[in-house]
Amino acid sequence: MDTVMEGEALEMADETTSSPTEQHAGSNGYEVVHSKSPVFYDIYERKSELKHQTHYCPGCGHGVAHKLIAEAIEDLGLQDKTIFVSPVGCSVFAYYYFDVGNVQVAHGRAPAAATGLKRACPEKLVLAYQGDGDLAAIGTAEIIHAANRGEKITVFFVNNAIYGMTGGQMAPTTLVGQKSTTSPWGRRPANEGFPLHMSELLSTLEAPVYIERVALSDNKNIMRARRAIRKALENQRDNLGFSFVEILSPCPTIWGKDPVDARRWVAEQMIPSFPLNVFRDRKLELPPDSAPPQRPVSEVLEIRKEGVRGLSAPHPHGFEQLAIKLAGFGGQGVLLLGQLLAEMGMREGLEVSWLPSYGPEMRSGSAHCHVCLSTQRIGSPLVSRPQVLVAMSEIALRKFAPQVAPEGLILYSGDKLPEDLALPTANVISVPASRIADKLGSAKATNIVMLGAMLAETNCLTRESALKVLEAKVKDCALLEIDRLALAAGWEFVNHQAYAGAVAQADGFAY
């Protein structure tokens, strides 16, 4: 039985205003048409006694922009789906006010963070809110590339032609002739260039679907801003693409004007320099696209399915997670050794990560990489406390030995340890790997000798999978033969030679 009456249905349709709290009217017969949006918190939990007020100065444009955005979010019914990315600047505290998902990001990086949020949560309404110092100075690269990629986010750019929070320094958008603490005689184009017009700049790009500049200068323009803000959010709801609204906004305190004059200044000074316009409003036509095939890494690396676990017997790894650091000079095959270990781990059905870390001095400079082998998913590929350190040079040994975890293992490619070296409580084995490799016919195989030694000592992975990986990686038959011998030689050295043994040092390596 349908109980909705026609009269009620009509009244519901007629209810164009947002607030359902009608009954707290001042006098009889009145109903609320505009009141504080429920998108704002009732109480602002900020570090001040003034929890019922915003921190903005009297007459600040941010408050108006906040209200227009809150109203639009409320009217779209997307409060529970909104993620608000607040910037560095006066509006850094937007998260105290908006009762939505909030992320506050590094200076200028709001479009980059919003990109990640939107791609990870495409069903959310992700909006970045930035000032002119944030967006047009330190964050210029982020906004241009986010716009150019056509990220399906909404960016609100509050332009007040000055750095407000830090006390009035010249911004990229400061007007010609405008005084600031860093342009005390007015901005001189000869020295500081011209104001940056972000809306015009972004409208040279293909991808954005909507770019408009509005101003909080008078009643009419504020209502235009209201429409633009709503449209920019609707665009995102409809998954249309990148939307950008530049809001010319008064900053009475820093401009040194009273709020009414500041608003007038927006109209008289800012708008002539930053003309209001809809710079872009169109649908984005993308060329036909097919998603690239998604393949597992093992397939891309041509490790055949049966090869992954094609070992004669499953190997008991004896660890849940093994963090390995491999270090030496560039050119010693340090990074390659890490790749080999990672690939072996993959063949043995482990989760693996390989993280190279090398500077510009990679050739004949230091190089190291981090390898994690794990039976569980790996949280971070970074190895700061290696359980195994393979040091291929004395410099690497001195640098990384203090990081090794207690009871860890250090494999050092050298005849003997430097005597003055203070070592943590780790097992240390010196392997004359380069001499062994030279004897076998190629110094290139030094890293494989170390691999053999490491496998012999730790038993973390099998020689069998090492051979399989070498066969897949090394195309030169002669070198492959040397590698086979090197692997065996490293293995033999550890199993048949006495090693330095556990060296305990009281070196302040406290746990």
> Rule CB under 8 A: which residues touch other proteins?
2, 4-11, 14, 25-27, 29-37, 40, 52-54, 56-64, 66-68, 70, 97, 218-219, 222-223, 226, 252, 258-260, 263
Which residues fall within 8 angstroms of residue 154, CB to CB, at 6 or more apart?
A: 125, 126, 127, 128, 232, 233, 235, 236, 243, 244, 245
Output the smallest distance, CB 102 to other proteins, in A.
16
Rounded to whole angstroms, the Cα distance separating 66 from 69 reads 5
In the complex, least distance from residue 238 CB atom to other proteins, rounded to whole angstroms:
25
For residue 226, the minimal CB distance to other proteins (Å) is 7
Query: Considering beta carbons, is residue 24 or 305 the nearer one to other proteins?
Result: 24
Choose between 64 and 448: whose C-beta lies nearer to other proteins.
64
Q: What are phi and psi of 76, to 5 degrees?
A: -80, -10
- What distance, in Å, lies between the first and last C-alpha atoms of the chain? 73
Residues 6+ apart with CB under 8 A from 332: 367, 392, 393, 446, 447
Cα distance between residue 66 and residue 158, in whole Å: 11
**Between 9 and 141, CB nearer to other proteins:** 9
Residue 306 sits at φ, ψ, to 5 deg, of -70, -20
Give the nearest distance from C-beta 65 to other proteins in angstroms: 9
Residues in the chain: 511
- Which two three-digit tokens encode residue 254? 């820093």
How far apart are CB 4 and other proteins at their closest, in Å?
4
Distances (CA, A) of 117 to 156, 239, 373: 16, 15, 29
Q: Which tokens sit at 386?
A: 């290696």
Q: Using the minimum distance from each CB to other proteins, give the nearer residue, 9 or 286.
A: 9
Q: Which helix (H) or strand (E) holds 141?
A: helix 140-149
- 22 or 361: CB nearest other proteins: 22
State in angstroms the smallest separation of the CB of 35 from other proteins: 4
> Positive or negative CA dihedral for 12, 15, 21, 27?
negative
The C-alpha atoms of residue 131 and residue 256 are separated, in whole angstroms, by: 19
Residue nearer to other proteins on the CB measure, 238 or 258: 258
To other proteins, the closest distance from the beta carbon of 260 in angstroms equals: 5
Closer of 251 and 276 to other proteins (Cβ): 251
Assigned token pair, 152: 């399906």
Nearer to other proteins, 225 or 352 (CB): 225
63 vs 172, which CB is nearer to other proteins?
63
Give min distance, CB of 227 to other proteins, in A.
12
Give min distance, CB of 275 to other proteins, in A.
Answer: 22
**Nearest residue (CB) to other proteins, 226 versus 315:** 226
- Assess contact for 425 and 404: CB atoms under 8 A: no
Kind of pairing, strands 388-391 and 321-329? Answer: parallel
**In the bound complex, what is the minimum distance in angstroms from residue 179's beta carbon to other proteins?**
23
Nearer to other proteins (CB atom), residue 68 or residue 436: 68
Burial of residue 257, with CB atoms counted within 10 A of its CB: 0-12 exposed, 13-18 middle, 19 or more buried: middle
* Cβ-based neighbour number of residue 346 at 10 Å: 22
Pair type for strands 210-215 and 321-329: unpaired
CB-CB contact of 427 with 454 (8 Å)? no
Give the largest CA-CA distance in the chain.
102
d(CA 463, CA 481): 15
What's the min distance (Å) between Cβ of 319 and other proteins? 56
Q: How far is the CB of 157 from other proteins (least distance, A)?
A: 18
Residue 378, classed as helix, strand or coil, is coil
C-beta closer to other proteins: residue 107 or 257 = 257
